[in-house]
Amino acid sequence: MKKLIMTLAVSILIVENSILAGPLILEQVSGGADWVAHADQQQFKKTQTGQLIRNEMVKLGIEENLTNFATVFSFHPLDDVRNITIYGTGKDRKKAVILIDGFFDKERILSILRTNPEYEEIKYVDIMLHQWYDENQKDPNNKMMYGGFYKDDLIVMGAGLDAVKHEVDVLKGSSENAAKGVFKLASLDAQTPFFKAAGKNIGEIVGPGPQAVVLRLTNQIGLTIGEIEGRFYLDLVLEAKSEEATQAITKILDGIIAFVSLQKEEQPMLAELAKKAKVSCEKTMVKVHLDSDPETVVQFLKNQWLRNKEKQTQTQ
């Protein structure tokens, strides 16, 4: 029952690993998208949460890895990238697109790509796209990547060539974008979060479990993560399909939070955070609000990172 809370935790972890910056531009997102995620690095850097995470990255050796990356690719994943937006349709990886806006050495990146054994150039309208083999992908039948520079400071990439081509059409204005109300919750309009996400038809994407029951009862879901006056906050908003569904969702969420709050021995930091989560509802809207000091959140993220690192070591 704790999987939904863990899903929220993973959303926070995205921020730790993000190279994201700047405002979300829905005109750059396809009108056919089912979900979208975005973070604002400029806002993130201003927060105590962001500063604490960056300090922990130095202690854990992550910062050194990023510096090594910058030496090879001529840009730092945290400092030189202004903006990244990820969106997709369903759970098909080939229908997802990543938009990365930042300061790049275009020729340096392309020279590295050209050394890839599967490298090919693909002309689409007036944009040169590139194909390469991604050996880090686990699926042996799905390791090809496609992407290109829409502009010198904007990279479009994804695992599906058709999705990347479609995104080029969206950017050029020849295909419909998401600015006309694809995502109707106010989460994407919020100005202060450093991470925001929204989705529809999410119940069709997730697997079994109580979180799947919750999501199948919703029309849309929105998530914002940020900091106000030195306090970390997370707001999850679900638009239920009916008022009856609202009551069912509220009961499930209350049960999940109560269950996770009791897991003091297995996950003490997660249990502490769960106790701070409050569920409320009004008509067809269900809201989960979590308020915490940044230190607790960052310590939880650090613990999760160390646990994952240990698991990876054991499986090698």
Domain boundaries, the chain: 3-303
Tens-digit pLDDT profile for residues 83-129: 889 999 988 999 999 999 888 899 999 999 999 999 999 999 999 99
Q: How confident is the model at residue 73 (pLDDT cuts 50, 70, 90)?
A: confident
Q: Find the radius of gyration of the CA atoms of the chain.
A: 20
In terms of pTM, does the model score above 0.75?
yes
Query: With 50 as the cut, is the pLDDT of residue 3 above it?
Result: no
- C-alpha angle 249-251-256 in degrees, rounded to nearest 5: 95
Backbone φ, ψ for residue 248 (5° rounding): -65, -45
pLDDT, position 24? 84
171 or 311: which carries more pLDDT confidence?
A: 171
78/189 Cα distance (integer angstroms): 24
Nearest to 156 by CA among 98, 73, 93: 98
Asked if 267 and 273 count as a contact pair (C-beta separation under 8 A), the reply is: no
Query: With 60 as the cut, is the pLDDT of residue 251 above it?
Result: yes
169 or 209: which carries more pLDDT confidence?
A: 169
